[in-house]
Structure 1
Amino acid sequence: MKTTRTSILILLGVALAGCQALTPDHSPSATGDCNAAAVQELVGKQASPELLDQSRRDSGARVARLLRPGDVVTLEYNAQRLNLTTDEDGRIQRVSCG
Structure 2
Amino acid sequence: MRFGIGVLVLALAACQPVAPPPVKEGAVGSCGADALQTLVGQDKSVLAAMTFPAGTRIIEPGTPVTMDYSASRLNIYIGRTGLIERVSCG
TM-score grouping bracket, smaller chain normalisation: 0.5 to 0.7
Q: Which runs of 5+ in 2 are unaligned?
A: 1-29
- Is the counterpart of residue 73 in structure 1 residue 65 in structure 2? yes
Higher RCO (CA < 8 A, seq sep 6+): 2
TM-score by length of 2: 0.56
Q: 1:96 to 1:41 in 2, by over 3 A?
A: same
Relative to its length, the structure with more helix (as a share) is 1
**CA distance in 2 between partners of 1:72 and 1:96 (Å):** 17
Residue 37 of structure 1 aligns with an amino acid whose one-letter code is D
For the 8 Å contact 1:47–1:90, the answer to whether it is kept is yes
**CA distance in 2 between partners of 1:53 and 1:80 (Å):** 22
Larger radius of gyration: 1
User: Which residue of 1 is the match for residue 87 of structure 2?
Assistant: 95
User: Which residue of 1 is the match for residue 39 of structure 2?
Assistant: 42
Aligned residues: 61
Q: 1:43 to 1:54 in 2, by over 3 A?
A: same
User: Which residue of 2 is the match for residue 51 of structure 1?
Assistant: 47
Residue 54 of structure 1 aligns with an amino acid whose one-letter code is M
Q: Which runs of 5+ in 1 are unaligned?
A: 1-32
Q: Structure 1 vs Structure 2: percent identity of aligned residues?
A: 43
**CA distance in 1 between partners of 2:75 and 2:40 (Å):** 12
**Cα RMSD over matched residues?**
2.2
TM-score by length of 1: 0.52
